[in-house]
């Protein structure tokens, strides 16, 4: 065996930009192509906007302008502007910035002086402009290296900072900004900074009442058990209510940052809600019954916050400030005092809250025995051998203590039939990708109670495979991908699975974990070239590119795609369509429309929107087939 040398020559020192580009995950989390809300391109945007928000919080500038076109981002604030002599340093020297002065940025989002440098290093074009005291300074960069260092000149522009960047396509392959994700991001900034006006591609984002506006936009009043409770104190704001849906729904923030993975503040909030309600009613309610169907938002301001990663999605701080109480004590004291006062002053709200808790208690007890039997059946079914082909990140770890970082890498494909699951199983990356195989069409569970999840074998085994029976926090896979055939039956199964998740686990969808796999409809090839086409238009383009008469294959089922081909479609270039909620989306209304009894309306909609190849001979027959299957699904 050859000996590996280890000498001074093996030791390297990377400059700041080399290190960021070599290890981008350390700075912005996962990369991605923009199909998920935590992909790196949105983190880049956030890092730039965070600086604008910090200016607003300090009392400078009430407007932020954001433009995103053709992959190019421009952000302009009207704060104080970077001091002209430090413009280049602030975006290209690590550990350089104004946030180390805790007096100026006492409760800032970011304190490490890294964010904008990461944006610079990971962009193939980056421009920063500062306008200050009648002068302006511009610097331009490529992959973190300065290309033009303009001299300061006079300017009559309003004071502030402008940043323009385009993510580097070498790092963010096939990236595309999705307006839905950006708008959600900007709404959160607006809710947490009342009075701030954000302009984005012609739209305006503005909030007067903070978290109350957030819950009002993301819920339908007719589905709430009682009016939203809105509480505000120094460095804390809370809004909460209970709805009719399954699960728990939380929005948590620290210093204006959306902590999508929660942290110490959210844990303290959940604990405080249960404790306060128990004491108010003098009943030892089960915590699950208190929190079932809750919809709540919490925002806190923490001095010098500690996050568990550079992307700041989970708070790790234990104390509200170096000299202050613990976060747990701070939140508990606030909830105990303010929520208790509110419930005493609003007895009708307290009455409805208690009714919701008691309803959850009854439902839980009704399915307790069924749940126990279902768990036993799941064990006997030998789930991990027959239904689930797990990934090594999990089955090499019997204790299931997979780190958050590793969990982000995992994907599970939900397929139907042996041939489809066989193709994906052979083509997958066994380290990070799992496959769950359904047997036949799932039950249409619209309007049914959660009791059916335990009584129906397929649903019961699916929830066990995902490990979402008790809490979304236990979800074993970051991406849950519905992978069905691109034919009528496949579309039907997709619809039934969507209904299952929306009906019983809507928080999984809201958290951005549910996707639909997009696979090619056609293969067009000759002796020299092969094109995989995802639409009729792409097919026609491919035919024009090939000389002579090409061979055209229509993939009607996933099992018709060979594992060697499938490997490309679920690898680095995987195409996933996220299942998204807009602020105006009401799950109950959506499910009633698509899966209820209004079949004529639904048939018209689905026929108009399904992607079907219009065969010259039997196109009309296919439309009739769709209508028949949709009608069957509703029944």
Each residue's pLDDT tens digit, 276-292: 999 999 999 999 999 99
The fold adopted by the segment(s) 211-366 is: Ribosomal Protein S5; domain 2 (3.30.230)
Radius of gyration of the chain (CA): 27
Residue 95 scores a pLDDT above 60: no
CA distances from 464 to 363, 415, 449, 547, 566 (A): 20, 16, 18, 52, 27
**Band of residue 119 on the pLDDT scale cut at 50, 70, 90:** very high
Judge whether residue 147 has pLDDT over 90.
Answer: yes
- Is it the case that residue 8 has pLDDT exceeding 80? no
User: Distance of alpha carbon 108 from its chain centroid, rounded?
Assistant: 23
Q: Which residue has the higher pLDDT, 446 or 340?
A: 340
Residue 252 has pLDDT above 90, yes or no: yes
Write the pLDDT tens digit of every residue in 259-278: 888 889 999 999 999 999 99
Q: For position 635, what pLDDT does the model report?
A: 43
Q: Give per-residue pLDDT as tens, 59-82.
A: 898 999 999 999 999 999 999 999
Nearest to 478 by CA among 565, 573, 402, 368: 402
Residues 265 and 334: their CA atoms lie apart, in Å, by 12
**Residues forming CATH 3.30.230.10 domain(s) in the chain:** 211-366
Residue 631: is its pLDDT beyond 60? Answer: no
Tell me what percent of the residues of the chain surpass a pLDDT of 90. Answer: 40
Tens digits of residue pLDDT in 295-321: 999 999 988 888 876 567 788 889 888
Q: Give the whole-angstrom CA distance, residue 17 versus residue 535.
A: 40
For 520-573, the pLDDT digits (tens) are 889 999 888 999 888 888 899 999 988 788 999 988 778 788 888 888 888 877
- Among 486, 551, 484, 557, smallest CA distance to 523 is for 551
Report the relative pairing of strands 522-525 and 411-416 from DSSP bridges.
Answer: unpaired
Predicted confidence (pLDDT) at residue 620 exceeds the cutoff of 50 = no
Question: Which pLDDT belongs to residue 381?
Answer: 66
Domain(s) labelled CATH 3.30.565.10 in the chain stretch across 17-206
Question: 611-617 long-range contacts, Cβ below 8 Å, gap at least 24?
Answer: 611/486, 611/521, 611/535, 613/521, 613/536, 613/554, 614/536
Domain 368-519+555-587 annotated CATH 1.20.1440.230? no
What is the pLDDT, as a whole number, of residue 565? Answer: 84
Give the pLDDT score at 422: 83
**Residue 350: is its pLDDT beyond 50?**
yes
Chain segment 210-219, per-residue pLDDT in tens: 999 999 988 8
Q: How many helical (H) and strand (E) elements, i.e. helices and strands, does the chain have?
A: 25, 23
Reported pTM:
0.76
> What is the rounded CA–CA span in Å between residue 384 and residue 160?
57
Q: What was the pLDDT predicted at 605?
A: 67
The chain-wide mean pLDDT, for the chain, equals 84
Q: Where are the domain boundaries for CATH 3.40.50.670 in the chain?
A: 368-519+555-587
CATH number among 2.40.50.100, 3.30.565.10, 1.10.10.10, 3.40.50.720, domain 17-206: 3.30.565.10
pLDDT of residue 174: 84
Q: CA–CA separation, 367 vs 451, rounded Å?
A: 6
């Amino acid at each position: 065996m050859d000996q590996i040398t280890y000498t001074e020559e093996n030791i390297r020192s990377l400059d700041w930009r080399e290190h960021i580009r070599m290890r981008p995950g350390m700075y912005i989390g996962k990369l991605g192509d923009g199909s998920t809300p935590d992909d790196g391109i949105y983190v880049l945007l956030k890092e730039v906007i965070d600086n604008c928000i910090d200016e607003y919080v300090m009392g400078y500038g009430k407007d932020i302008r954001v433009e995103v076109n053709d992959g190019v981002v421009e952000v302009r604030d009207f704060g104080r502007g970077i001091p002209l002599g430090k413009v280049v340093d602030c975006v290209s020297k690590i550990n350089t910035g104004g946030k180390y002065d805790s007096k100026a940025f006492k409760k800032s989002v970011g304190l490490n002086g890294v964010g904008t440098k990461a944006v610079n290093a990971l962009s193939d074009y980056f421009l920063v402009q500062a306008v200050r005291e009648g002068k302006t300074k511009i610097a331009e960069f490529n992959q973190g290296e300065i290309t033009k260092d303009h001299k300061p000149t006079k300017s009559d522009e309003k004071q502030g900072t402008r940043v323009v960047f385009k993510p580097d396509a070498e790092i963010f392959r096939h990236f595309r900004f999705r307006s839905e994700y950006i708008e959600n991001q900007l709404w959160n900034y607006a809710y947490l900074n009342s009075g701030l006006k954000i302009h984005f591609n012609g739209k305006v984002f503005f909030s007067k009442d903070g978290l109350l506006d957030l819950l009002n936009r993301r819920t339908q009043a007719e589905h709430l058990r009682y009016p939203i409770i809105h509480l505000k104190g120094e460095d804390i704001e809370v809004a909460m209510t209970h709805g009719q849906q399954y699960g728990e729904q939380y929005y948590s923030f620290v210093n204006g940052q959306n902590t999508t993975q929660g942290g110490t503040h959210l844990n303290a909030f959940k604990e405080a809600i249960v404790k306060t309600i128990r004491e108010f009613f003098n009943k030892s309610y089960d915590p699950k019954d208190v929190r079932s169907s809750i919809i709540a938002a919490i925002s806190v301001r923490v001095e010098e916050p500690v996050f568990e990663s550079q992307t700041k999605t989970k708070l790790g701080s234990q104390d509200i400030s170096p000299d202050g109480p613990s976060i747990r004590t701070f939140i508990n004291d606030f909830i105990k005092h303010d929520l208790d006062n509110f419930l005493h002053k609003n007895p009708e709200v307290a009455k409805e809250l208690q009714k919701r808790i008691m309803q959850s208690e009854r439902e839980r007890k009704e399915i307790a025995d069924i749940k126990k039997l279902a768990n036993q059946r799941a064990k006997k079914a030998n789930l991990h051998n027959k239904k689930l082909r797990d990934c090594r990140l999990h089955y090499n770890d019997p204790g299931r203590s997979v780190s958050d970082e590793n969990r982000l890498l995992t994907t599970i494909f939900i397929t139907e039939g042996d041939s489809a699951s066989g193709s994906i199983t052979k083509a997958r990356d066994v380290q990070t990708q799992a496959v769950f195989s359904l047997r036949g069409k799932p039950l249409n569970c619209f309007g049914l109670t959660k009791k059916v999840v335990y009584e129906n074998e397929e649903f019961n085994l699916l929830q066990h495979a995902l490990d979402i029976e008790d809490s979304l926090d236990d979800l074993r896979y970051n991406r849950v991908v519905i992978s069905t055939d691109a034919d009528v039956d496949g579309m039907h199964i997709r619809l039934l699975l969507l209904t299952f998740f929306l009906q019983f686990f809507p928080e999984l969808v809201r958290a951005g974990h549910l996707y639909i796999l997009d696979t090619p409809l056609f293969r067009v090839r000759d002796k020299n070239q092969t094109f995989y086409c995802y639409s009729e238009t792409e097919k026609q383009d491919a035919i024009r590119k090939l000389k002579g008469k090409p061979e055209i294959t229509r993939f009607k089922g996933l099992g018709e795609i060979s594992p060697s081909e499938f490997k490309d479609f679920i690898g680095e270039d995987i195409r996933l369509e996220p299942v998204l909620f807009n602020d105006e989306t009401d799950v109950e209304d959506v499910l009633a429309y698509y899966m209820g009894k209004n079949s004529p309306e639904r048939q018209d909609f689905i026929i108009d929107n399904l992607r079907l190849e219009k065969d010259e001979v039997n196109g009309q027959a296919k439309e009739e087939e769709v209508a028949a299957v949709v009608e069957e699904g509703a029944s």
